[in-house]
Structure 1
Amino acid sequence: MSSKSIPVFFSVNDRYAAPLATAIASLIDHASDENNYDLIVLYQELSQENQDKISSLTTNNVNIRFIALDEKFGNRFDNDQNTLRADYITLTIYYRLFIGDMFPEFDKAIYVDADILIRDDIAKLYDIDLMGSIVGAANDRFIATDPVVAGYANDAVGISNQLYVNSGVLLMNLKKFRDTNFTDKFLELLTTYHFKLIAPDQDYLNAIAKDDIYQLPMEWNLETAVMPEDFKPARLVHYNLFEKPWQYNDVPFADEFWQAAKRTPYYEQLATELASTTDEIRAANDSKAGTIMRLAKDLVKDPITLKSVLGENESK
């Protein structure tokens, strides 16, 4: 008899089906027989073929189910005209902020991006005591170490770059999301100001929850884009930003990624993508990174920012 059920949310489209399957394979590799793992894949466009391939990874204690994001939004918010001040397409960009509202049956859950590799039992992440905080997440190393985006976090978002967290791995106190009307606060900001941001859902989460974030240790979200020196106890690797192991060689922990990929129906597809990724594609990724940096520089100059608006609200 399993001792507990651990809800783990993902969100994916057809483009990320193969990395998601690899992430799930790595989760299964480290799953304890003592637990049940309820994997909930939120999607907007995910073919039946991909759903069937991912479902083939199901085990006795790892269940995988798929929920159409638009349908879930519709069922949850159809009768709430206040919420619908923002259209569905806009809202679904911020799906992880609505998990508490969409799934009232859960008081606590994990959310993880698809571009991850799990190296330990994810139940250990779930078991971390949030000490009453609304969310647990790890400091974003890119934001913490780069002076341009560090200034953006401090001066536009309104949170110290040393406390700004990455939203690719979240331990969520869903009951507190509901009890504090988190999404109402978010929707008011979204529909009133339409801020231009470099990482929209992540920036809103940091700005609204900044005094209520439990700082997870880096080992639960080791971001490969900015690797610390000689850091070994990685329990969860996050291929954040642009250098993914299915497009770049010599990415940290790539050997383990490919070992997990071999246990999915997508290994050949991923290997083909790596072989066919051109220098032009990689240059385009570099260009996207440059765009983020330029935008971060510009946005700190805006007179109306998350920091200025929330600071005004706090002073009232």
Structure 2
Amino acid sequence: MDRECMNVVYASNDGYARHLGTSLYSLLDRNRDFAEIAVYVLTLGLSEENQGKLREIAEHFGRKLVFLNLDDLRERIGYEVDTGGFDISVMLRLFMGDMLPESVERVLYLDCDTVVLQSLKHLWKENLEGKIVGAVMEPTIYQAVKESIGLGEDDPYYNSGVLLTDLKQWREQEVQKKLLDFWKSKGGKLFASDQDVINGTLKGQIYTLMPRYNFFTNYRYFSYRELTHLGKTYKAVTPRELQIAKQHPSIIHYMGDERPWIAGNLNHYRRAYELYLAKTPWAGAPKQEGKRAYMLAYHMLDYATAVCPPVRRIVSRKLGMKLVESRKKA
């Protein structure tokens, strides 16, 4: 059995503690084959109650869990930022180089809205070929977003929900400073906040991971042909690799609006989240109400995507930015 320790980092506030607990339980349950796992949680004032629940999960598996609080996050940033309606905690991951122990030279970052379904041994050993991070491509991003951060049509755009990071190189190349400088140069305002910052700053320094390591649940309804139409660089992924991701994802990412904790959602992969939530101290937590009609409409759009992809393109162009604006107001 491999004695190497897998280092994992999350970033969370109290609002996402339940989802973090679900993800953490799935991570530790599916990776019992690791001799050691150390989990670090970057937080903005995570309550003692939620910390206690998370510790309970880690202790159940006999794993190390460390909380690293960044109450001074805004001071560390040094300028005003507009996170597009998301909580300022989305920026926490940018500071993992400073906050994690110097002895940690490689780390796997996971968003809280992920669920792990397979051992990550192969991912953890992935050769980044000299790149600073490894990530999964997101070809459905708007072209205007890519242009706003200096990416051309032939440049890949990556999702930052799963980042396999060479933290040693991250520190040596002062990536944190470069990330903050890039965001400042954009007036502290970008469409996808820290994700855009990572893509814009690390252009050409991101290694492409296969989609099974960060499978966006709505991609179940996108054909390979459609994804390569939306982003030519997605041809680095084979049709077989996309099919494997759909049928046997290693990490599910509940990206988008059809989230399993919203009442009325019909997410095809919702049971994975529900299974692990039921094993945590948050078992029985009520789902978010008030969006049942929207969930039904969203699921209908999923099927429309599978049958007639241009429908989703039209809806995305017309409503995508409006949804972002409504998120800001909320």
- What is the TM-score of this pair, normalised by structure 1? 0.77
The answer (yes or no) to whether the contact 2:132–2:206 under 8 Å persists in 1 is: yes
Which residue in 2 is equivalent to 1:68? 69
| 1:233 to partner: Cα distance | 2.7
Q: Which residue in 2 is equivalent to 1:98?
A: 95
Q: 1:243 aligns with which of 258, 264, 283?
A: 258
Whether contact under 8 Å (1:134, 1:173) holds in the other structure is yes
Q: C-alpha offsets along residues 75-121 of structure 1, whole Å, 9 cap, x if unaligned?
A: xx9xxxxx764379998652212211222331110111000110111
Instruction: Tell me by how many angstroms 1:163 deviates.
Output: 1.2
Q: Which amino acid aligns with 1:252?
A: H
Equivalent in 265, 268, 272 of residue 256 of structure 1: 272
The reply on whether 1:273 has 2:266 as its aligned counterpart is no
Q: How many residues align?
A: 279
Q: Does 1:200 align with 2:190?
A: no
2:9 is the alignment partner of 1:9: yes
The 10-residue stretch of structure 1 (172-181 or 87-96) with the greater mean CA deviation from structure 2 = 87-96
Q: Name the CA shift for 1:57/1:290 in 2 (closer, same or farther; >3 Å).
A: farther
**CA contact 2:258–2:267 (8 Å) conserved in 1:** yes
> Cα–Cα, structure 1 residues 47 and 166, in superposed 2: closer, same or farther, change >3 Å?
same
Secondary structure at 1:70 match in 2: coil
Match of 2:111 among 93, 113, 117: 113
Q: Which one-letter code corresponds to 2:176 in the other structure?
A: T
Over 3 Å counting, the alpha-carbon distance change for 1:43 and 1:84 in structure 2 is closer
Note closer, same or farther for the CA distance 1:290–1:9 as it changes in structure 2 (3 Å cut).
Answer: farther
For residues 176-191 of structure 1, what are the structure 2 equivalents within 5 Å?
176-191=169-184
Cα distance in 2 for residues equivalent to 1:142 and 1:288: 10
SS in structure 1 of the partner of residue 271 of structure 2: helix
Question: What is the RMSD computed on CA atoms of the aligned residues?
Answer: 3.2
Q: What is the rounded CA distance, in whole Å, between the counterparts of 1:19 and 1:239 in structure 2?
A: 10
Find the aligned partners of 1:96 and 1:43 in 2 and give their Cα distance: 10
1:173 is the counterpart of 2:166: yes
Q: CA deviation at 1:137?
A: 0.3
Deviations 1:143-167 (A, max 9, x none): 2xxxxx13431x2222256610000
CA distance in 1, matches of 2:69, 2:316: 29
1:237 positional shift: 0.4
- Determine if contact 2:11/2:90 at 8 Å carries over to the other structure: no
C-alpha spacing 1:282/1:11, structure 2 compared with 1 (3 Å)? same
Alignment of 1:54-65 (within 5 A): 54-58=54-58, 59-65=60-66
Please list, as runs of the form range in 1=range in 2, the aligned pairs for 1:157-168 lying within 5 A after superposition.
Answer: 157-160=149-152, 163-168=156-161
2:249 aligned to which of 234, 237, 243: 234
Separation in 1 of the partners of 2:46 and 2:127? 34
Give TM-score, length-normalised by structure 2: 0.74
- The change in CA–CA distance for 1:112 and 1:204 in structure 2 (over 3 A counts) is same
Structure 2 match to 1:138: 136
Please say if residues 97 and 170 of structure 2, whose CA atoms lie closer than 8 Å, have aligned partners that are also in contact: yes
SS at match of 2:201: helix
The separation in 2 between residues aligned to 1:118 and 1:192, in whole angstroms, is 36
**Does structure 2 retain, via aligned residues, the 8 Å contact 1:137–1:165?**
yes
Residue equivalent to 1:80: none
> Shift of residue 294 of structure 1?
5.3
SS at match of 2:140: helix
Q: State whether residues 138 and 220 of structure 1, in contact with CA within 8 Å, keep that contact through their aligned partners in structure 2.
A: yes
Q: 1:24 to 1:43 in 2, by over 3 A?
A: same
Runs of 5+ unmatched residues, structure 2:
224-242, 302-314, 325-330
- Percentage of pairs with the same residue: 28
Give distance in 1, aligned partners of 2:281 and 2:158. 33
Distance 2:82 2:152 in 1: 31
C-alpha distance in 2 between matches for 1:187 and 1:225: 31
